[in-house]
Structure 1
Amino acid sequence: MSTFFDEMQKSFTDVPVSADKKVSTSEFLEASESLVKLFDLFGSSAFSVVQNDMNGNIKKIREYLLKNPANAATLQDLVLAEAGTKSKTATQGLLWLSRGLQFTAESLKETIDNPTKELSDTFTAGYNKTLVKYHSFVVKPVFKLAMKACPYRKDFFAKLGADQTKVLAQLKAWLAALQNIVSIIFEFFASGNYGKGL
């Protein structure tokens, strides 16, 4: 029986990361698009704010990749290529997309680590650990409202797939790969202060 993870266009477990921690841009974008579809399972329009934000940032990076394929094969190459220019649209997109991915990863980790807690609690905890510090007083209530619109835990896991043992194993592997890639991106941003002013 297939699961949500079987049907993904690209999983984070399939994103190439080189020995020197360079992350392939095109596969990263495909895996990010697959992650955004996870929020479709929530069945609430409240999460469109999260999806629209992520999709908008994916679009910025993809447009840069299409125009500059030689300079943007990896995420690090893309940031370095834009570093010397006035426009840092793709770098900004990557920074904000990575924050959204970190929020998703942290929320799902909370969900796995606390099997008795509902998603509205685990995603609120994930939000408070990640995105809340970047959001203005205008945006915070919109996101907090979305967290309250999370489905019941059992309903969400049922939508991921009928074989719950398989679902949990796949979720853990996918999450570990996602967390690894997000940490690589943030380490790289910190190494050259590339997120300054974005």
Structure 2
Amino acid sequence: MVPVDLANSTMGYFDTLPKSFADVPINDGEIETESFLTAAEGLVALFDAINPIAFKPVKVDMLGNIKKIRDKYLVNPVAYCTLQKIVQAEAGQKDRTATQGLLWLKRGLEFTAKALRRNMDNPAEELSASFTAAYGVTLKQFHGMLVRPIFTIAMKACPYRKDFYTNLGDDPEQVQQGLEKWLSALETILINLNAYYEKGNYAKGL
């Protein structure tokens, strides 16, 4: 799937989504793989509403991690129908590519979710401030000295908040409602994944 380019689309962001995080099934605590990956690909298009050039490294990284998970899923879609089943299958193995990909994708999604939640909760705060603060409490601790400046530049390149929300759609009320529904669902998924990784200590060695 190729994420929708919002910069060249007349539709709002939530109109372009093939799958929202709100539509990702979670059964018995396990997250459906295919739906999650499609929703995550849709999130990547969100960076086109922020700054497609400055956030290109973020997009490339996230899409690369999505591919790692999907490649594993396609080996056996039935056996790997949930994210948890993929991680469980790789536990104890030397090759944990999909587990690592999901770990880093989770971190990227958490960075995005915290930035957007902070911005929604602080109507007077500009997007650059929200994303900078979110980076400081999420991805920054995992990045080395060579990567941090790239993300710092990206944060500074965020558009004015009014322009960002306009890019998400023409109707402000619909945009806010759509964003809240989508973001709340993403936050629920992240709570699930964080608890799962922590309980099983699946991030060890990655």
Distance 1:138 1:130 in 2: 17
SS in 2 for 1:6: helix
CA distance in 2, matches of 1:73, 1:147: 35
Is residue 111 of structure 1 aligned with residue 93 of structure 2? no
Map Cα deviations across residues 100-136 of structure 1 (whole Å, 9 max, x no partner).
0000000000110111111110100111111111111
Gaps of 5+ in 1: none
What is the match of residue 4 of structure 2?
A: none
- The Cα offsets for residues 55-106 of structure 1, whole Å up to 9 and x where unpaired, read as 0000000000001223210000000001132100000000000000000000
One-letter amino acid of the structure 1 residue matched with residue 22 of structure 2: T
- What secondary structure, in the 3-state scheme, does the structure 2 residue paired with 1:103 have? helix
Structure 2 match to 1:59 = 67
| Aligned partner letter, 1:117 | E
Specify which of 138, 142, 155 is matched with residue 146 of structure 2: 138
Q: Distance in 2 between matches of 1:68 and 1:86?
A: 19
Tell me the distance in 1 between the aligned counterparts of 2:20 and 2:175.
Answer: 14
For residues 135-164 of structure 1, what are the alpha-carbon distances to aligned partners after superposition, in whole Å with 9 as ceiling and x for unaligned?
A: 111111111110001011111100100110
| Alignment partner, residue 151 of structure 1 | 159
- Asked if the contact 1:24/1:75 (under 8 Å) is kept, the reply is yes
In the alignment, is residue 126 of structure 1 matched against residue 134 of structure 2? yes
Provide the rounded CA distance (Å) in 2 between the counterparts of 1:134 and 1:36: 20
Superimposed CA distance per residue, residues 4-39 of structure 1 (whole angstroms, 9 cap, x where no aligned partner): 112201100000011x21000000000000000000
Select the residue among 23, 33, 37 that pairs with 1:14: 23
Q: CA deviation at 1:183?
A: 1.0
Runs (4+) off by over 4 Å:
none
Residues 44 and 149, structure 1, Cα contact 8 Å, conserved in 2: no
Instruction: Report the equivalent of 1:31.
Output: 39
SS in 2 for 1:110: helix
Partners of 1:9 and 1:151 lie apart in 2 by: 25
Contact map agreement 1:78 1:91 (CA 8 A) in 2: yes
Q: Cα RMSD (Å) of the superposition?
A: 1.2
Distance of 1:37 and 1:9 partners within structure 2: 11
Aligned to 2:80: 72
**Aligned-pair identity (%):** 52
Q: Which one-letter code corresponds to 2:56 in the other structure? A: S
- Residue in 2 that maps onto 1:100: 108
- Normalising by structure 2, report the TM-score: 0.93
CA contact (8 A) 1:42 1:151 kept: yes
TM-score normalised by the chain length of structure 1? 0.97
